[in-house]
Structure 1
Amino acid sequence: MTGCPITVQQKRLFMTLRIEGATPQQAAAKSGFSTATGYRLEQELYLPAIERPLRQRRRPDPLEAVWDAEVVPMLTAAPGLRAVAVLEELARRHPELHPGVRRTLERRIKLWRGLHGPDQEVMFRQTHPPGEQGLSDFTDLADLGVIVAGSVLDHILYHFRLANSGFEHGHVILGGESYSALAVGLQNALFALGGVPLQHRTDSLSAAFRNLDRDAIEDLTTRYATLCAHFNMTPTRNNTGVAHENGTIESSHGHTKKTIADALLLRGSRIFEDLTAYRRFIDEHFARHNARRSKAITIERATLRPLPDDRTIDYEETLVRVTSSSGFVLRKVFYTVPARMIGQRLRVRLYDDRLDCFLGGSRVLTLIRGRADHASGKHGHVIDYHHVIHALRRKPGALRNLSYRDQLFPRPAYARAYEALTERRSDKAACKITVELLGLAHDCACEAELARVLETELDAGRLPSIDLLRERFSPASASMPMVVIEAVSLGLYDELGTISRGDAA
């Protein structure tokens, strides 16, 4: 058999069969090697029972002069040094050293490390009883290139896994690692599972603590402990920087991302209409995974603790004041609100994907959560032109240098119209017409239809005419029906009160 050495037992069997009268072909076949090998064995001088002497070196050792004197001290001082780095250093010191010794050097270093190198870290494989441990972690999915609502989605995935049965659940997170992301993902996973494990294990949550002061870190730790107490779970963490202690979930990150990437290829498109559609796609992936492990999950589900009656809070709460800009700043993001709220203090519940704003005890507004650009340090903006259009109509010139002008336009067609107007009209006229276009979209609720008309006009090289557009989209005035009321003779009232004698009883 090619590549397999012939054992002493095979040699003995071959020679015994030959002595008993078998042909070389028969003896070789019964011994498990080729006929050519059988002929070679018959010509060898050494008997099968006698071991061959070790082959002696046939040429001088090219590393004899430098191995003990230079290579071993380098490996001792820096055990992680690569063989190619050692070879480059030897070539610098000894130009006469032939570069063909690389393979010999690599083999010699490998042998030295096996005999004299430092001890490596030992991984102790664990046995996880059913219902004992669930693990949470986050993994980056931005490399998938998923497009939602026309833009590339920069997101991560909250990943939950049961250590015993392999039940998995995932939730798309738009921001970074945070308490709200962990809380909403964990609660979704537990209610989808239908039970609670004894322990919940995470990493050190260092990303959630980043850029926080000591008081904020302690508050976050307290909230996490309260979350686990609500579900009657014991919180545990691995040592900082030792990712393999969470190997049960860390190892499945790569498989999960590859499987999602394959599913996107089979789908034929990475474009999703909205975030809800993409989250449904992720849920289907984990549902198929859990269906393959349904027997093990059913067994472990019987050992889980019962769920509490209700969910606990999965948001952060803070107070903000609405400034004269008709908005507030939260986490380096500026949000607009209706101008009537200027000067009010709002209580904001900060979720992973939205903000719920309360005035007193009443929820008055829900906003999409924005993200600041941490790489450039610039503030983010979440702008709703409906909030400021009435004030902007009174001051249209403010549009020219508005700090959030690009985010004010609800669709690319409006930004394109403004650029075309500034090229061919004065700044004052361009600002006034653009503001009127936004006002028309607000008054007539025709944002999408108006955007399509603007695209058509601009493609044809024409500037938008606000008068024609207002005539087209403004609701037609209803005509009042003509109501004719015939006058009644007042004498009829006298006749009603008069009783004819002929009618008397």
Structure 2
Amino acid sequence: MPQMSKVELYAAIRRDHRGGMKIREIERKYNVSWRTVRKAVDSVWPEPRKQLPPRPTALDPYKSLIDGMLLADLDAPRKQRHTITRIFHRLVEEHAADVSYQMVRRYVSDRKPQILVESGKAPVEAFVPQTHQPGMEAEVDFGDVTIRLAGELVTCYLFSFRLSYSGKAVHRVFASCGQEAFFEGHVHALRTLGGVPRSKVRYDNLKAAVARVLGLSRARVEADRWIAFRSHFGIESFYCRPGIEGAHEKGGVEGQIGYFRRNHFTPVPEVNSLAELNELVDQWDLHDGRRRIGSRPRTIDEYFQVERPLLMPLPEEPFETGRLFTPRVDRYSQIAVRTNRYSVPVRLIGKRVRVVLHASHLVVFDRNVEVARHERLIAKGGCRLDLDHYLEALIRKPGAFPGATALEQARSAGKFTPVHDAWWAAAVKAHGDTAGTRALIEVLLLARHVSHEHLVAGLAMALRAGALTADAVALEARKIAQAEAEPTGKPSSAGAARATVTFLHEWRLAHLPPDTRPLPSVTHYDQLLRRRRASGGEHREGEAQ
């Protein structure tokens, strides 16, 4: 007979007894005593197993002492209460107790909440379940994440916008959690979702939105740009209570950030730029749409399909999310934005320029013309220089080129390659330090009209041929660009290996269209010569007469 549980045994005994089987027959069938048969006939459920008394431990004599310490902590200053380590040390030092730390830790972990409840000082708060209507509400928050950016471990900020009904969330990683990132995160999320929630969006008291909290009420003094932003998109803001007490009021986005960080930022992602990381974040958002939240019967995307048509449409006019600054360019051709410095072309030294600061980059304008664009620095007190901005000054001062900070940053970024260095060394050897460096700067000026890849390839070709002038590099770079643009095919590797330099006038003649015109003739002019001779002979005859 297969092994049966006690509930199954009782059910079988009751069934046989109702069928007319005698108790003694049931005893023999199931190999049980008459007491078991009688208990099964009298009750459907077996009697619960009697709990054995707890085994005595070495901590038992000291439990009352521990309880006294925990009771005394109820009225003690918050920073001067007993820790588990302190309780353990007191038991050993003051009472010579032969107990282990793990034994004390288990008892305190179980007993401390009980003492709080018994004393009436335990914070007991009731939470009321909420039902969210589709397309009505959303929650927003920032969370810090650590990434390895270009080989360096840095802390960035994860923006999360989560719809309350479907749980559909959109994320974005920024270098800061300032107002620019706050606005750009909203714009990206609303465009991705395709609309704006019709009712309130829950926020905590972010400085990007709230200028001042008015007491313990929900009244806030909002920042002017935030008022204009949410008015543009039709967002109705709702601010949670300050501190930890209000965290549960937007618990959906709090939990969403924790889930996203644990599942997609563990292990620490390694990327070369925030743009590369945000491409991964977009893919992770699409992947998370296929999961179910808790015990819900459908996926996030399935709920979102119901919610999306109910969102308010987006406004047609764009909103400038960047912050405007008008710094003056110093004598180092740099501008100060927040706590960092960025380079601009040297022709702007002494002038004021207009800077639009975004969450991940900044753009510099001179009379509405873009003159510089930089990726925003994460650390404070940094400096980002573009070598191209200093070329007009360096061509007049070539001696300053080898030690230029912009040159070192260009090397680190991979824009000044080993091919540049090799060509520079050969030019200096052939023409001298000043002329060789000036020739390199002329080559760098070509980058404004020739792509970086073609210019590096032209440098390599000119270096093989020993052509150490900017004109030769420009010619080789254009030849490579034209060869790539031809639809007939790619140049062979053997032809690429043989570096040839063509003089500019020969190259121009070779590219002229064929001349099909006939050769010039002077036959018509010979007729004029005969007339002149004839007229001259008549004149001489007249003189003779």
TM-score, reference length from structure 2: 0.65
Q: Give the counterpart of 2:370 among 347, 364, 368.
A: 364
Amino acid at match of 1:223: R
1:200–1:234: 8 Å Cα contact kept in structure 2? yes
- Which residue of structure 2 lines up, in the alignment, with residue 66 of structure 1? 65
Write the distance in 1 (CA, Å) between the matches of 2:460 and 2:414: 9
Equivalent pairs counted in the alignment come to: 446
1:329 counterpart = 2:356: no
Please state how far the C-alpha of 1:251 moved relative to its aligned partner.
0.3
- Which residue of structure 1 lines up, in the alignment, with residue 242 of structure 2? 240
The structure-2 alpha-carbon separation of the partners of 1:131 and 1:322, relative to structure 1 and needing over 3 Å to count, comes to: same
Write the distance in 2 (CA, Å) between the matches of 1:413 and 1:311: 34
- Which residue of structure 2 lines up, in the alignment, with residue 185 of structure 1? 185
Deviations 1:353-401 (A, max 9, x none): 33233333x2333402331523xxx3322x2212211211221233465
1:139–1:156: 8 Å Cα contact kept in structure 2? yes
Deviations 1:409-431 (A, max 9, x none): 47558487879x99xx99xx879
1:285 counterpart = 2:284: yes
- The 5-angstrom pairing of residues 223-302 of structure 1 reads 223-242=225-244, 243-261=247-265, 276-291=275-290, 292-302=299-309
Write the distance in 1 (CA, Å) between the matches of 2:156 and 2:173: 7
1:345 counterpart = 2:352: yes
Please state how far the C-alpha of 1:219 moved relative to its aligned partner.
10
The structure-2 alpha-carbon separation of the partners of 1:298 and 1:441, relative to structure 1 and needing over 3 Å to count, comes to: same
2:342–2:374: 8 Å Cα contact kept in structure 1? no
> What SS does the corresponding residue of 2:238 show, helix, strand or coil?
strand
- Identity percentage of aligned residues: 21
The structure-2 alpha-carbon separation of the partners of 1:63 and 1:38, relative to structure 1 and needing over 3 Å to count, comes to: farther
> What SS does the corresponding residue of 2:115 show, helix, strand or coil?
helix
- Which residue of structure 1 lines up, in the alignment, with residue 201 of structure 2? 200
The structure-2 alpha-carbon separation of the partners of 1:26 and 1:328, relative to structure 1 and needing over 3 Å to count, comes to: same
Write the distance in 1 (CA, Å) between the matches of 2:524 and 2:261: 89
Q: Give the counterpart of 2:387 among 356, 379, 385.
A: 385
- Which residue of structure 2 lines up, in the alignment, with residue 306 of structure 1? 313
- Which residue of structure 2 lines up, in the alignment, with residue 318 of structure 1? 325
- Structure 1 gaps of 5+ residues are 29-34, 43-47, 211-217, 457-462, 496-505
Please state how far the C-alpha of 1:350 moved relative to its aligned partner.
1.4
The structure-2 alpha-carbon separation of the partners of 1:123 and 1:309, relative to structure 1 and needing over 3 Å to count, comes to: farther
1:136–1:200: 8 Å Cα contact kept in structure 2? yes
The structure-2 alpha-carbon separation of the partners of 1:469 and 1:241, relative to structure 1 and needing over 3 Å to count, comes to: farther
> What SS does the corresponding residue of 2:310 show, helix, strand or coil?
coil
> What SS does the corresponding residue of 1:66 show, helix, strand or coil?
helix
Amino acid at match of 1:194: G
- Which residue of structure 2 lines up, in the alignment, with residue 87 of structure 1? 88
Write the distance in 2 (CA, Å) between the matches of 1:171 and 1:283: 8
Write the distance in 2 (CA, Å) between the matches of 1:233 and 1:27: 75
The structure-2 alpha-carbon separation of the partners of 1:154 and 1:49, relative to structure 1 and needing over 3 Å to count, comes to: closer
1:116 counterpart = 2:119: yes
Amino acid at match of 2:398: P
1:370–1:380: 8 Å Cα contact kept in structure 2? no
The structure-2 alpha-carbon separation of the partners of 1:354 and 1:491, relative to structure 1 and needing over 3 Å to count, comes to: farther
- The 5-angstrom pairing of residues 389-408 of structure 1 reads 389-399=391-401, 402=404, 404-408=406-410
Write the distance in 2 (CA, Å) between the matches of 1:160 and 1:320: 34
2:141–2:203: 8 Å Cα contact kept in structure 1? yes
Deviations 1:124-173 (A, max 9, x none): 24332222221222233433x465xx877764332111011111112232
- Which residue of structure 1 lines up, in the alignment, with residue 492 of structure 2? none
- Which residue of structure 1 lines up, in the alignment, with residue 445 of structure 2? 442
The structure-2 alpha-carbon separation of the partners of 1:70 and 1:418, relative to structure 1 and needing over 3 Å to count, comes to: same
2:442–2:470: 8 Å Cα contact kept in structure 1? no
Deviations 1:193-218 (A, max 9, x none): 222112122222147889xxxxxxx9
Write the distance in 2 (CA, Å) between the matches of 1:130 and 1:203: 22
Q: Give the counterpart of 1:20 among 9, 19, 23.
A: 23
Write the distance in 1 (CA, Å) between the matches of 2:363 and 2:413: 24
Larger Rg: 2
Deviations 1:266-304 (A, max 9, x none): xxx9556x6555433322221233354233112222332
Amino acid at match of 1:201: R
Write the distance in 2 (CA, Å) between the matches of 1:492 and 1:98: 134
- The 5-angstrom pairing of residues 78-227 of structure 1 reads 81-99=82-100, 102=104, 103-104=106-107, 107-109=110-112, 111-116=114-119, 118-120=121-123, 122=125, 124=127, 125-143=129-147, 145=148, 155-173=156-174, 175-197=175-197, 198-206=199-207, 221-227=223-229
Write the distance in 1 (CA, Å) between the matches of 2:126 and 2:119: 21
1:336–1:384: 8 Å Cα contact kept in structure 2? yes
Write the distance in 2 (CA, Å) between the matches of 1:23 and 1:334: 93
Amino acid at match of 2:135: G
The structure-2 alpha-carbon separation of the partners of 1:363 and 1:390, relative to structure 1 and needing over 3 Å to count, comes to: closer
1:177–1:208: 8 Å Cα contact kept in structure 2? no
Amino acid at match of 2:184: V
Please state how far the C-alpha of 1:330 moved relative to its aligned partner.
1.4
Amino acid at match of 2:440: L
1:71–1:86: 8 Å Cα contact kept in structure 2? no
The structure-2 alpha-carbon separation of the partners of 1:185 and 1:49, relative to structure 1 and needing over 3 Å to count, comes to: closer
Write the distance in 2 (CA, Å) between the matches of 1:59 and 1:391: 84
1:384–1:408: 8 Å Cα contact kept in structure 2? yes
Please state how far the C-alpha of 1:237 moved relative to its aligned partner.
2.1
1:180–1:351: 8 Å Cα contact kept in structure 2? yes
The structure-2 alpha-carbon separation of the partners of 1:88 and 1:320, relative to structure 1 and needing over 3 Å to count, comes to: same
1:490 counterpart = 2:525: yes
Amino acid at match of 1:176: S
The structure-2 alpha-carbon separation of the partners of 1:129 and 1:418, relative to structure 1 and needing over 3 Å to count, comes to: same
